[in-house]
Amino acid sequence: MVRFSILAGGYNTFIATYLFDPSAGTLDVLAKFPAGTNTSWISPHPTNSSIFYATNELSPMGALQSYTTTSDGTVSGPHDTVPSGGSDPAFTVALSTGQVAIMNYDTGNGRIFPTDSTNLKFDNNSAPIITFPPPAGGVSHPHMAYEYESEVIVPDLGGDKLWRLTRDGAPAETGDWKITGLIPQPLGSGPRHMKIFGDRIFVIHELASTLTVQPIPAPPNGTSNIIDSKLITPSGLPAGAAMAAAEILIPNPTLKFPTPYIYVSNRNTGVQDPRGDAIAIFEHVNPGQPDEGLELITEVFTGLDQIRGMEIGLERNGGDEFLIASGVAGSAGTVVYRRIDGGRNLTEVARNLDIPTRTTFIWL
């Protein structure tokens, strides 16, 4: 069976490379490569697997960096570093346009940088700061940027909105990104991350610990009703537990995994559960029918403390059979699960405790 190299970022000054061997049931740390401070989110280039980007989640000013890697996870860089335009950028993503978006959680703004022909150098002069209007008496907290067709959609945890960004200019594809609309979310829910599958938006809400599904409204300010909303908090929590939803994954269907199950992570920021945090698995049932909704399939307790990042491997090398996750707190390390029963459940394959916490992963 193929062995897999996996990059992992976190709250320190290195990017780690793991080697996962499914046959041996092992997950080993191969190396730690010097990097910027708090590379808490890393994102691959969409077409060049040797390039990736990283946040430096810092206050009062964060940064965006570019790196390269070999197929076995030897990391070089940073090749360029530019200011994020605000405080504590918790997310970055490379767009199909050749640009890279970064969102500043604490200052309610973000930037979308063009890159040069190498995809490693950022144009700092062509990335104006995008400021998200704060709610009355509150603070905007953009937590993600999601590319959909000609838009970038930004979940705002503080403002309970999904902001819709499009490009202006003539032609439109060369203009700056600006807010042109929004999709309201339930008040106080704290939309954190999202995925789009088909014509539906699936949102994980940190403050409400809910998963919602709704049709994609027409741009710029169309509306749609939430079809279903389900609590993702696990059963049997101890007194004093404080749950906060974090990540959502919806892998594309394949012959081996024909049903696009939804994987969402819980974070317990209060009294810890001896079982650790859970990954909840949902199914989107009867889409387009009167009884369309979300159905909880199972909960998988991980032993991890505050699962912030998790990632499913790549279909091209069989990695989509596996899911890697880690906590942002505690000392439970990093764990790899095998998706079983067509993706309806997870079983642990390997765990490594050498690095106590990780927050973000790239499968190579």
Collect the ranges in the chain with pLDDT lower than 70.
Answer: 169-174
CB count in 10 Å sphere of residue 226: 16
* Model pLDDT for residues 18-59, shown as the tens digit of each residue: 999 999 999 999 999 999 999 999 999 999 999 999 999 999
Kindly state the greatest CA–CA separation across the chain.
58
* Model pLDDT for residues 262-288, shown as the tens digit of each residue: 999 999 999 999 999 999 999 999 999
Residue with tokens 């509150």: 138
191 vs 203: CA distance, rounded Å:
6
The tokens describing 311, both together, are 């990632």
Strands 14-21 and 4-9: antiparallel
- Residue 168 pLDDT: 80
Evaluate whether 235 touches 209 at the Cβ level (below 8 Å).
no
- Residue 174 pLDDT: 61
The amino acid at residue 212 is: T
The pTM for the full model equals 0.96
- Residue 321 pLDDT: 97
User: Which among 105, 202, 99 is positioned nearest to 159, based on CA atoms?
Assistant: 105
Residue with tokens 């954190």: 192
104 by Cβ neighbours in 10 Å (0-12 / 13-18 / 19+) ranks as buried
